[in-house]
Structure 1
């Protein structure tokens, strides 16, 4: 692993975080009820075609590979760190309860939608379909046997990208890009096919558009104040230089079969 990759993995995975951080929040119920989730699922596009040749070319041990490893941790508060560099803040430096609640309830909605669609159109993961393919994270049998479509990380990433774009409009483009990168990481990690990531990104945008409840609006406003406070602290994530190198690697190599929705 390069020194830059080591720094990125250490910082983004939380190994270099300061002491006294809160434990990850327990699983929260989403904002949407079962009827709303079914409506989103019924309107979802049909799964896009896929091929064994679609695995992204990013090799294990590269900066972007280690970034994908970090992105495997989705739940807040750790998941908020993925947007540190996009917004120029250090979100895990201290508790941000409203932001964590907002992210984790959106993650719960993304998980509910993903599970429902996966039951309708099961598809094997790359690490299941291709013998010997190395994932970027530890996997158990249940994860290996789990469905690939749609990519749940891409659903959550796209929804969070739109969420952070609303919380920090001056960094909207950067927030949306990071949301897409979180989804792309699932393909780089060999956990989802690129076509499943692309479909997941579309679903994530539709999911956030459906979040119209008073509870969501209240959490969004509370999180807006926390994000503004975090940015005003003037702290930056020391892994940002490594993150820029990782993203530049992918830009130079091409983005495989994943396209922006």
Structure 2
């Protein structure tokens, strides 16, 4: 049985690796370790309004459980993708520093996000990122679950982050919480692209499996906490103001005939590759 669904064609794979490598070479390299991101931006939520992950998520899977067996199976399948275009994409997805992080959903939403041209959308993504990350911290700090690379001793897609990741609990996934929060928010303000955006939210979290820095159960509970964060954000006046303004920016871009400037066909092909047993 193949561990990989929708395998990419060899020539396409080589082309995409080259393209991703070129992007990585020219991009700035901010520190982007999970839920510990240095930024001048602040979240929308007061500390008291951040969802309480320690109360909301169950304890991580224990030895001998079916859940841990699934975690280990998915991890094996994900590690089989090391060196592939999907692994390279996981490295790109690992970067949460802005401005790079602003365009992880550029293809899915079919828009370039820019601090000058789409300031409300840029601000919406940057500030909600902080809230979705904060929503995972209590459980992360309490459980301090070791990450896959700490257990299997194999490389990750972001070696520069490994030292920090060792000190940052695996469960639940902060990147996944952020990605799923973004997917829910963007689906609301770009409903014409909702399916593509939500698919990107799923595979953004799956990049953490491919990167060898998260387990399947980390991803599932990360999605849960991302949704919890968005529910709280909808009760925040500043968030709702930016949400409305960002919706207008997207509508204006559509009216002007503007689209994502990325190679979206190549990205879509790469993101179809996933661990077969991932949920």
TM-score grouping bracket, smaller chain normalisation: 0.7 to 0.9
Residue in structure 2 matching 1:136, options 147, 151, 157:
157
- In structure 1, what is the Cα distance between the partners aligned to 2:265 and 2:129? 28
Deviation at 1:213, TM superposition (A): 0.7
The answer as to 2:74 corresponding to 1:54 is yes
- In structure 2, what is the Cα distance between the partners aligned to 1:10 and 1:208? 34
Pairs aligned (count) = 247
The answer as to 2:222 corresponding to 1:200 is yes
Residue in structure 2 matching 1:113, options 110, 135, 140:
135
Are the structure 2 counterparts of residues 25 and 144 from structure 1 closer, same or farther at C-alpha, using a change threshold of 3 Å?
closer
**Equivalent position of 1:216 in the other structure:** 239
- 2:26 counterpart SS class: coil
Are the structure 2 counterparts of residues 113 and 72 from structure 1 closer, same or farther at C-alpha, using a change threshold of 3 Å?
same
Deviation at 1:25, TM superposition (A): 9.4
Q: Is the 8 A contact 1:98 1:226 kept in 2?
A: yes
Bigger Cα displacement from structure 2, 140-149 vs 104-113: 140-149
Moved over 6 A (4+): none
Q: Is the 8 A contact 1:40 1:206 kept in 2?
A: no
Residue in structure 1 matching 2:270, options 243, 246, 250:
246
Q: What pairs up with 1:1-261 in 2 under 5 angstroms? A: 2-11=14-23, 13=24, 15=26, 26-39=39-52, 41-48=54-61, 49-50=67-68, 51-55=71-75, 56-92=78-114, 95-131=117-153, 133-137=154-158, 138-211=160-233, 212-231=235-254, 232-250=256-274, 254-256=275-277, 258-259=278-279
Are the structure 2 counterparts of residues 171 and 136 from structure 1 closer, same or farther at C-alpha, using a change threshold of 3 Å?
same
Are the structure 2 counterparts of residues 120 and 25 from structure 1 closer, same or farther at C-alpha, using a change threshold of 3 Å?
closer
TM-score, with structure 2 as normaliser: 0.79
Where structure 1 has 5 or more consecutive residues not aligned to the other structure, the ranges are 18-23
Are the structure 2 counterparts of residues 151 and 125 from structure 1 closer, same or farther at C-alpha, using a change threshold of 3 Å?
same
Are the structure 2 counterparts of residues 239 and 192 from structure 1 closer, same or farther at C-alpha, using a change threshold of 3 Å?
same
- In structure 2, what is the Cα distance between the partners aligned to 1:193 and 1:39? 21
